[in-house]
């Protein structure tokens, strides 16, 4: 099935006021607390009255039975536009796409986009066990391994297919931890050695403790508006240049090593009139190291099975330069605050592009690629999304 | 903790897990029971009568042609191992006792991928496996796989007893 994937470009859409509600390992607060706290901090950061925000987009694993409508009341907002994206780690980029199109056609002026979750261990296990009907019937009876089971299977198959070692995954985890050490909000800031990585508790072979994200509570969010509005308000912003998504695109029979990004990546770069080597930073969805590597490969930075061999310093060597990867340390260092994990890369990209990183600012950051991945229904994740953002100074 | 208490807790945890099973999964378990070939070299998988394609887990409509004319087809039990793991950390306290669990993913000739319990550590990716089904203690259909050269139907029967007790 071929989709019309040509129209991936966006014009004059700005991302403003990137906010992280610091992650917590323990809490008794509900999801609405974290989402609302993000909204408060976003408005404060942009010096904006709540009434000026006429759209609200949320993604949350633990908000149910409440919805974005409940939040409109909880936050006393009268909205022109409300949206809820239930697509896990793809929610951030896909939410951004929905919000951008709605602003482009004039359905909303200023949209707050927030991913946020609470983390209460007993409820978390129940939620994971009921992730989909197929997982209830076809995965959960196999010792209730959750996502660790699916990604252990994928990781081993990837290692065998491309001759990748645990040390190779360790390189990525250590690289991201290096970035996290300078990021103010990271839950894990201590240096990670290869020895510690390899010697960690086994979760599901070949996955060890440092291959798995720490579930926690928190939120990530930002505002979206027209570029002219951001300029009028005098707010620093990053521009959305192009975005795409693809669902259920992998080969259904074998163990999948591609999930849909390759189907639209050329259109994505074409829409910005750039090639991958003109990207300065990449924020890939890192629920497990194997997914981070597969995204780098499928998005065109190297051939499949090669990403681990290209890692160096703070990122990936491509086209004679280092493309910085997961500059805040990703979820592997910051923790996974539920669906906020799908917004973490966007928030960090906007910070890097506006020169407002929280401790790990890279220089000469003009373009960022952010990808999201989500929703294991049965034996594989289904939703792949990516967006290219640009610093405002870079505009022609 | 007494043995009775431990067993009662185990049953409670298992029941809460099984209570989530969908109607389709229960039908699948019934189909396996009714095939009266419990532990055989045949595997019962949901199949579409209109387009002829198999699917797993069972569902209310054929995912390929969206037909509702579905039945339970008996397939050969051969499959190819796509990957495997030893699972140490589980979300359900019931499974803590038996950990680590050897679990694999098998590409089956019905065109579906099946999760399976594995009977030993002696597997490699790409090898042929024999897949057997059993209806577990809460009425859910689960599969286990063994080396076809080392495990005939008789061997599978004793393995099924073992897995029934485990799950």
Q: How far is CA B67 from CA A131, A345, B60, B61, B63, in A?
A: 25, 41, 9, 6, 8
Residue A59 is classified by DSSP as: E
- Dist CA A224 CA A234 (whole Å): 14
- Dist CA A320 CA A283 (whole Å): 19
Taking each helix axis as running N to C, give the angle between helix A146-162 and helix A289-298, from 0 to 180 degrees, rounded to the nearest 10: 50
Specify which residues A215 forms β-bridges with. Answer: A336
Average pLDDT over residues B136-149: 78
What values do phi and psi take at A94, rounded to 5?
-70, -40
CA angle A97, A336, A305 (to 5 degrees): 75
- Dist CA A387 CA A348 (whole Å): 13
- Dist CA A367 CA A299 (whole Å): 15
CB A310 within 8 A of CB A81: no
**Is the CB of residue B32 less than 8 Å away from at least one CB of chain A?**
no
Q: Which residue of A has its CA nearest to B64?
A: A252
**Is the CB of residue B37 less than 8 Å away from at least one CB of chain A?**
no
Q: Which of 232-291 (A) contact B at CB < 8 A?
A: 252-255
pLDDT in tens, B20-57: 456 666 666 666 555 544 567 788 899 999 999 999 99
Burial readout B58-74 (b: 16 or more C-beta within 10 A, e: otherwise): bbeebeeeeeeebebbe
The secondary structure of A62-76 as a DSSP string is S-TT--HHHHHHHTT
CB A373 within 8 A of CB A336: no
Q: How far is CA A89 from CA A59, A78, A360, in A?
A: 10, 28, 23
Q: Which residue of A has its CA nearest to B96?
A: A143
Q: Which residue of B has its CA nearest to A135?
A: B57
- Quote the radius of gyration of chain B (alpha carbons, Å): 16
Specify which residues B107 forms β-bridges with. Answer: B80, B113
Q: Which residue of A has its CA nearest to B97?
A: A143
Mutate to test the interface with B, among A144, A157, A158, A377 (most CBs of B within 10 A): A144
Out of B88, B92, B116, closest to residue A129 by CB: B92
- Dist CA A134 CA B113 (whole Å): 12
**Is the CB of residue B99 less than 8 Å away from at least one CB of chain A?**
yes
Residue B164 is classified by DSSP as: H
Q: How far is CA A296 from CA A211, A309, A319, B136, B160, in A?
A: 17, 12, 14, 41, 43
Q: Which of 136-175 (A) contact B at CB < 8 A?
A: 136-146, 148-149, 152-154, 156-157, 160
Chain A partners within 8 Å of B87 (Cβ): 142-143, 145, 148-149, 152, 204-205
Q: Which residue of B has its CA nearest to A146?
A: B91
Secondary structure (H, E, C), B2-16? CHHHHHHHHHHHHHH
Contact A145 B82 (CB under 8 A): no
pTM of the predicted structure, to 2 decimals: 0.92
Residue A34 has a CB neighbour count (10 Å cut-off) of 32
The secondary structure of A219-271 as a DSSP string is EEEEEEEEHHHHHHHT--EEEEEEEEEEES-S-SSS--S--SHHHHHHHHHHH
The secondary structure of A348-396 as a DSSP string is HHHHHHTT--SS-PPSS--EEEEEEEEEESSSSEEEEEEEEEEEGGG--
3 state DSSP class of A27 = coil
**Is the CB of residue B28 less than 8 Å away from at least one CB of chain A?**
yes
What is the layout of strands, in order, in the sheet containing A55-59?
A81-84, A55-59, A111-117, A217-226, A9-24, A237-247, A381-391, A367-376, A281-283, A321-325, A315-318, A311-312
**Is the CB of residue B13 less than 8 Å away from at least one CB of chain A?**
no
Q: Which of 146-165 (B) contact A at CB < 8 A?
A: none
Contact B17 A204 (CB under 8 A): no
For residue A140, what pLDDT is reported? 87
Q: State CA A272 to chain mean position distance.
A: 21
Out of A134, A141, A379, closest to residue B167 by CB: A141
**Tens place of pLDDT per residue across chain A (396 aa):** 444 555 899 999 999 999 999 999 999 999 999 999 999 999 999 999 999 999 999 999 999 999 999 999 999 999 999 999 999 999 999 999 999 999 999 999 999 999 999 999 878 877 777 778 888 888 888 988 999 999 999 999 999 999 999 999 999 999 999 999 999 888 888 999 999 999 999 999 999 999 999 999 999 999 999 999 999 999 999 999 999 999 999 988 789 999 999 999 999 999 999 999 999 999 999 999 999 999 999 999 999 999 999 999 899 999 889 999 999 999 999 999 999 999 999 999 999 999 999 999 999 999 999 999 999 989 999 999 999 999 997 554
């Amino acid at each position: 099935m071929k989709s019309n994937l040509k129209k991936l470009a966006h014009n004059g859409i700005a991302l403003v006021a990137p906010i992280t509600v610091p992650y917590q390992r323990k809490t008794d607060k509900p999801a609405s607390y974290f989402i609302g706290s993000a909204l408060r901090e976003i408005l404060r950061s942009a010096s904006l009255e709540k009434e000026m925000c006429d759209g609200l987009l949320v993604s949350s694993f633990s908000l149910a039975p409440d919805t974005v409508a409940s939040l409109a009341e909880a936050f006393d907002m009268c909205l022109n536009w409300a949206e809820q994206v239930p697509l896990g780690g793809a929610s951030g980029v896909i939410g951004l796409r929905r919000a951008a199109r709605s602003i482009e056609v004039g359905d909303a002026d200023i949209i707050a986009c927030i991913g946020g979750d609470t983390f209460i261990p007993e409820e978390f296990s129940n939620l994971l066990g009921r992730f989909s009907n197929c997982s209830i019937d076809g995965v959960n009876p196999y010792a209730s391994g959750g996502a660790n089971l699916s990604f252990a299977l994928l990781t081993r198959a990837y290692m065998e297919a491309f001759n990748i070692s645990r040390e190779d995954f360790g390189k990525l985890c250590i690289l991201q931890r290096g970035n996290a050490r300078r990021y103010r909000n990271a839950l894990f800031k201590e240096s990670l050695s290869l020895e510690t990585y390899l010697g960690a508790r086994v979760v599901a072979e070949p996955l060890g403790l440092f291959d798995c994200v720490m579930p926690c509570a928190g939120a990530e969010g930002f505002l979206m508006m027209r570029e002219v509005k951001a300029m009028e308000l005098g707010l620093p912003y990053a521009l959305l240049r192009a975005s795409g998504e693809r669902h259920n695109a992998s080969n259904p029979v074998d163990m999948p090593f591609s999930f849909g990004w390759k189907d639209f990546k050329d259109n994505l770069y074409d829409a910005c009139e750039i090639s991958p080597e003109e990207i300065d930073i990449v924020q890939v969805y890192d629920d497990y190291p194997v997914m981070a590597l597969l995204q780098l490969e499928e998005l065109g930075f190297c051939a499949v099975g090669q990403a681990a061999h290209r890692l160096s310093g703070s990122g990936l060597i491509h086209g004679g330069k280092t493309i910085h990867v997961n500059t805040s340390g990703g979820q592997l260092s910051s923790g996974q605050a539920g669906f906020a994990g799908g917004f973490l890369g966007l928030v960090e990209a906007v910070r890097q592009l506006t020169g407002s990183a929280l401790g790990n600012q890279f220089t000469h950051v003009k373009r960022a690629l952010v990808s999201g991945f989500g929703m294991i229904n049965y034996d594989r994740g289904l939703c792949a999304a990516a967006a290219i953002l640009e610093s405002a100074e870079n505009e022609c | 903790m007494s043995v009775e208490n431990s067993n009662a807790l185990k049953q409670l945890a298992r029941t809460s897990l099984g209570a989530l099973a969908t109607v389709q999964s229960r039908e699948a378990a019934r189909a396996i029971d009714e095939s009266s070939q419990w532990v055989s070299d045949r595997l019962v998988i949901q199949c579409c009568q209109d387009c002829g394609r198999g699917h797993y887990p069972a569902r209310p409509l054929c995912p390929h042609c969206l037909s509702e004319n579905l039945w339970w087809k008996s397939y050969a039990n051969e499959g190819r191992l796509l990957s495997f793991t030893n699972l140490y950390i589980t979300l359900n306290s019931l499974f803590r006792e038996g950990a680590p669990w050897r679990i694999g993913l098998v590409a089956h000739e019905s065109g579906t991928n099946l999760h399976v319990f594995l009977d030993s550590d002696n597997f490699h990716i790409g090898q042929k496996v024999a897949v057997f089904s059993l209806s577990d203690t809460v009425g859910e259909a689960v599969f286990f796989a063994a080396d076809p050269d080392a495990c005939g139907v008789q061997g599978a029967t004793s393995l099924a007893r073992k897995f029934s007790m485990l799950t």
